[in-house]
Every structure is written in C-alpha cells, then in structure tokens.
C-alpha cells in the first residue's frame, strides 16, 4: 500500500511548510515539493492520493496518560482498549500510553499479564504501557531491569496519594528512583499529599459535607504544591529523571520552576481540562460529579499559569488523564463524594480542544501545539523519531486537519464509551478530517476504516533525560 498526500501544510515543532508526503507501507519514504508517484526515486505508484490543500498536516497525536478498562474505586473505567483507542483516533490521537496497576502484594509481571489479557488483540490504535508501582519491595526491585530492557516499558508510575490503595511512601519512592535511574528509566508521579487529603476527606465526611464540592475542597492547592516539591527534591537527590503527571496549579509549577534554578530538569504534563475548565463547575450540585477527578479542577489564575508554563517550556505535554465512567458509575457517590469514581472522558477531544482554545485563540503557536501534543510525549517516553514527527523513516501516523471547520461537542456524537461529555455544547474551531496510522487510513470524514486488533503494542526505548 502506498499513499501520496499532496499540498498539505506540514507542521512540526520547528517547521511549517507546504509539501507532499509519500508513504510506502507503514512509514514515510519521501517528503518534497511536487512529488508525483512514478517519478525518479518514487518507483512505486501510489495506490491512493489525498489532496490536502488548505489543510494542516501534523504527526499523529500522542496521549501519554489514559486509563482504559482499569479497575478503580470498585468499578472499571468504561472505555476498553478497543473503544478508547478508536475514539482517540477519531480525535487525531494515534498512540496512547495506558497505565498498568500493580496489585499490592503481587508482582509487576502479574499486573502486566492482566493488562495484556484485556488489551492484546483489542486495540484499534497503537498503545504502550507505563507500569504503576504500588508496592516497592525487594521482589519488585528485581523486576525493574526486565521491564526496561525486555518489555520496552521504561516509565514507572507512582502515586503519592490514594492512601490505602495505590499510594507509596517516600522510603519506597527513593528506593524505586535509585533502581529506575540505574537502568535508564523514568518515574511518573501523581504528586499530591495523600495524608493531608485523607485527613480532609474524613473531616468533611464527619461534618456531613458530602457533595462533589467537597472533593475539590479536600484537595487544596497546597496538597499538590507540597508533594510536587517533595518529589522534585527526591529526584534531585537520587538523580532520577521525573515526570509530574496532570499538574494543575501555580504552586506546583513553582516547585518545578525552582528546580530549574538549580539546573534540575523535571518534565511536566498538564491535561486539557486544567487549561480550559475551572472549579466553579463543582457548584452544580451532583452534576459536579462529571468533573470529579484528582487533582480537581482549579482556578482561573491556575489556567493562566499553565498556558504561560507551556510557552515558557516548563509544561512539556498536554495529555488527558482520560478515565471515563458512565453516569450510573458516578452515582456510586451520590451520597458521598469520596465514593465517586475519579476521572473524566477526553481522549477524543484533546487535540481539537487544544487547537480551538490554544491555537485559534492565539494562546499558543501551531508549532507549540504539535510539540506538546505529539512530539514531546514521543521524545520523553522513548518513541521518537518513530512516532511524534513527520520525517522520512518515521511511522506514517499523520493527521490531516481542517483548521476552519466548526463543530459542537456532544455525547450524542462522540465515540467514547461514556454517556455524557464534560464539554457538552462546546463550540470548537478545527476538525480532524483524515487520520493515517502506520500508513493505513484509519479515519476518513468521521468514519473508522480499521478494525480492532490493528493497534500495535509499541515497545519503548530508554527515556530522555532532556528534550
């Protein structure tokens, strides 16, 4: 199979030009002006030609923070590897990184086996895994090298919160950092102070303050700022590369800013919701459960800090933390906010919302857009230049995007397996038109053209120390 994409405006973090792209099999084999199938050097006639005049052409989006079919808070997130990766493709995301969760008392390998049994043969789009270490001990320690060198799983997630379920203490964190550093991996962290949050949750429950608003009030900014600073300091001490997931607020970003003053490099991810939604949504009584996630939505001043952080190069990635639950699942916490499954759906909306709210509203440039949504996740997590760029030899994961097309987000039309949208009625400028995944047309004019099982597990290389 060969495809010729004609006259698209190709965007990467450091380029913006109009050219043609020739794809043979799964990879890009030529980029140039006025390429025609059959000319010298292009000895295969293209099976298909796509006219991309007037369109933006950028690398397939990479969402490095999603939770698919994940057992959590007494239920499972509602998108499977099939429905979640398909919805991602509709929104221009060709590769996702999902989280495998170790069960405390069991091995990392048994958790991976469990996730493989749900993901293998089911994914439509490409995927990889982070390994979440929830119980670091002498046995777990022995498994780290194998995961990095043999499994291609080079990033290890830690939780400084979710006390009693997923949280590890600082002793375990330091030990894990030393081991991961030694073998060329990276630590991802959910950086909030689990003990403080646990205290505040119990206090609010005792006071019968049980609505979703108290989820927000149980996780004030200081819980995130404190844990981020502690994580950064432990990373500085051990020299282990660190990546803070879903960073939401000014206080936490200032901890990273301070680290850069002492020449420490820490990677930072925020998520689309923290850039464009705010905590006033928790005042909608139980409807606020749609946005019950951890950390919670913050204030307008934090949105400003995050947009500025992207432009300052302090925030490297915009992900989703996609963790959808049906409304019926959210109702598990109708009488007690602490029982509302944490998470919201966005895997399909990230690329279009970030374009519409970021690029179309002049908050970020097109180059920055591609950098934070496509290229940096590939570089940080050991997939570049196979993924995350448009270059000869790279996988032909390509989005053809109409920058002027307007549409409205709705649960009635989205493809995620969830019966509400956190963005219902949002007017969006810019729409994904065609998506190629490894040279195959995956999405065209709002139709999925590939089947479950097409998505491949992507083994990743050792991670970047710097980007």
State the residues that interact with ligand URP by CB under 6 A: 67, 190, 293-294, 321, 323, 342-343
Question: Which residues, listed in sequence order, are joined to residue 388 by a DSSP beta bridge?
Answer: none
Residue 80 site contact among Zn ion, ligand URP, none (CB < 5 to 8 Å, cut-off depends on kind): none
Q: Whose Cβ is closer to ligand URP: residue 328's or residue 451's?
A: 328
Structure letter (DSSP) for residue 153: -
Q: Maximum distance among all alpha carbons in the chain?
A: 77
Shortest Cβ distance from residue 73 to ligand URP (Å)? 9
List 229, 321, 352, 371, residue binding Zn ion (CB under 5 A): 321
Q: Whose Cβ is closer to Zn ion: residue 3's or residue 293's?
A: 293
Residue 357 site contact among Zn ion, ligand URP, none (CB < 5 to 8 Å, cut-off depends on kind): none
**Using an 8 Å Cβ cutoff, are 392 and 28 in contact?**
yes
Q: Whose Cβ is closer to Zn ion: residue 63's or residue 250's?
A: 63
Window of 103-111, 188-196, 255-263, 444-452 that interacts with Zn ion by CB under 5 A: 188-196
Indicate whether 322 belongs to the interface with Zn ion (CB under 5 A): no
Nearest residue to ligand URP on Cβ basis: 342
Q: Whose Cβ is closer to Zn ion: residue 114's or residue 444's?
A: 114
Residues 410, 124: Cα–Cα separation, whole Å: 22
Q: Whose Cβ is closer to ligand URP: residue 35's or residue 167's?
A: 167
Q: Whose Cβ is closer to ligand URP: residue 346's or residue 400's?
A: 346
Residue 298 site contact among Zn ion, ligand URP, none (CB < 5 to 8 Å, cut-off depends on kind): none
**Using an 8 Å Cβ cutoff, are 294 and 67 in contact?**
no
Shortest Cβ distance from residue 342 to ligand URP (Å)? 3
Q: Whose Cβ is closer to Zn ion: residue 190's or residue 215's?
A: 190
> CA nearest 436: which of 82, 59, 29, 31?
59
DSSP string, 167-190: B--HHHHHHHHHHHHHHT-EEEEE
DSSP run (H or E) holding 198: helix 194-206
- Per-residue burial over 308-344, b if 16 or more Cβ lie within 10 Å, else e, is ebbeeebbbbbbbbbbbbbeebbebbeeebbebbbbb
Q: Where are the alpha helices (DSSP H) in 246-289?
A: 250-261, 272-276
> CA nearest 459: which of 101, 97, 99, 108?
97
Q: Whose Cβ is closer to ligand URP: residue 333's or residue 439's?
A: 333
Residues 364, 58: Cα–Cα separation, whole Å: 16
Shortest Cβ distance from residue 323 to ligand URP (Å)? 4
Shortest Cβ distance from residue 106 to ligand URP (Å)? 19
Residue 93 site contact among Zn ion, ligand URP, none (CB < 5 to 8 Å, cut-off depends on kind): none
State the Cα torsion 255-258-259-260 to the nearest 10°. Answer: 130
> CA nearest 68: which of 82, 83, 80?
80
Shortest Cβ distance from residue 213 to ligand URP (Å)? 16
Q: Whose Cβ is closer to ligand URP: residue 102's or residue 356's?
A: 102
Q: Whose Cβ is closer to ligand URP: residue 201's or residue 437's?
A: 201
Shortest Cβ distance from residue 211 to Zn ion (Å)? 22
Indicate whether 190 belongs to the interface with Zn ion (CB under 5 A): yes
Binding residues with Zn ion: total (CB under 5 A): 2
Shortest Cβ distance from residue 279 to ligand URP (Å)? 14
Residue 342 site contact among Zn ion, ligand URP, none (CB < 5 to 8 Å, cut-off depends on kind): ligand URP
Count the Cβ atoms, other than its own, within 10 Å of residue 76. 17
Residue 293 site contact among ligand URP, Zn ion, none (CB < 5 to 8 Å, cut-off depends on kind): ligand URP
**Using an 8 Å Cβ cutoff, are 200 and 338 in contact?**
no
Residue 86 site contact among Zn ion, ligand URP, none (CB < 5 to 8 Å, cut-off depends on kind): none
Window of 185-193, 253-261, 374-382, 386-394 that interacts with Zn ion by CB under 5 A: 185-193
Q: Residue 424: which residues within 8 A CB-CB, separation 6 or more?
A: 409, 410, 411
**What is the number of alpha carbons within 13 Å of residue 363 lying toward its C-beta?**
18
Residue 28 site contact among ligand URP, Zn ion, none (CB < 5 to 8 Å, cut-off depends on kind): none
Residues that bind Zn ion (CB under 5 A): 190, 321
């Amino acid at each position: 199979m060969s495809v010729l994409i004609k006259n698209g405006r190709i965007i990467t973090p450091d380029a913006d030009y109009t050219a043609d792209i020739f794809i043979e099999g799964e990879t890009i084999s030529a980029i140039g002006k006025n390429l025609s199938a059959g000319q010298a050097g292009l000895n295969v006639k293209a099976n298909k030609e796509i006219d991309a005049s007037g369109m933006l052409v950028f690398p397939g989006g990479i969402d490095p923070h999603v939770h698919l079919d994940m057992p959590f808070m007494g239920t499972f997130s509602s998108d499977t590897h099939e429905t979640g990766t398909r919805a991602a493709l509709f929104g221009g995301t060709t590769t996702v990184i999902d989280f495998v969760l170790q069960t405390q008392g069991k091995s990392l390998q048994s958790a991976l086996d469990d996730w493989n049994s749900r993901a293998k043969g089911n994914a439509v789009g490409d995927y990889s895994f982070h390994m979440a270490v929830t119980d670091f001990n002498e046995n777990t320690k022995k498994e780290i090298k194998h995961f990095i060198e043999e499994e291609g799983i080079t990033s290890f997630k830690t939780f400084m919160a979710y006390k009693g379920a997923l949280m590890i203490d600082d002793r375990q964190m330091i030990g894990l950092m030393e081991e991961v550093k030694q073998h060329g991996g990276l630590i991802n962290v959910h950086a909030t102070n689990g003990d403080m949050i646990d205290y505040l949750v119990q206090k609010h429950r005792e006071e019968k303050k049980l609505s979703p608003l108290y989820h927000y009030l149980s996780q004030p900014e200081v819980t995130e700022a404190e844990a981020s600073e502690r994580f950064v300091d432990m990373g500085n001490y051990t020299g282990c590369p660190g990546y803070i997931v879903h960073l939401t607020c000014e206080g936490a970003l200032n901890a990273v800013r301070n680290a850069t003053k002492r020449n420490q490099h820490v990677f930072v991810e925020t998520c689309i919701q923290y850039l464009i939604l705010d905590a006033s949504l928790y005042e909608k009584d139980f409807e606020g459960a749609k946005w019950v996630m951890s950390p919670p939505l913050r204030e307008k001043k934090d949105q400003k800090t995050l947009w500025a952080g992207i432009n300052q190069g302090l925030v490297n990635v915009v992900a989703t933390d996609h963790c959808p639950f049906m409304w019926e699942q959210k109702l598990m916490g109708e009488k007690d906010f602490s029982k509302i499954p944490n998470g919201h759906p966005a895997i399909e909306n990230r690329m279009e919302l970030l374009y519409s709210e970021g690029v179309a509203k002049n908050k970020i440039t097109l180059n920055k857009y591609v950098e934070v949504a496509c290229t940096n996740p590939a570089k940080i997590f050991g997939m570049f230049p196979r993924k995350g760029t448009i270059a000869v030899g790279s996988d032909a994961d390509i989005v053809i995007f109409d920058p002027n097309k307007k549409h409205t987000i709705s649960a009635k039309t989205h493809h995620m397996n969830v019966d509400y949208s956190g963005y219902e009625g949002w007017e969006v400028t810019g729409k994904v038109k065609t998506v190629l995944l490894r040279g195959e047309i995956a999405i065209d004019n709002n139709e999925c053209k590939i089947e479950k099982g097409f998505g491949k597990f992507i083994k990743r290389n050792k991670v970047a120390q710097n980007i």
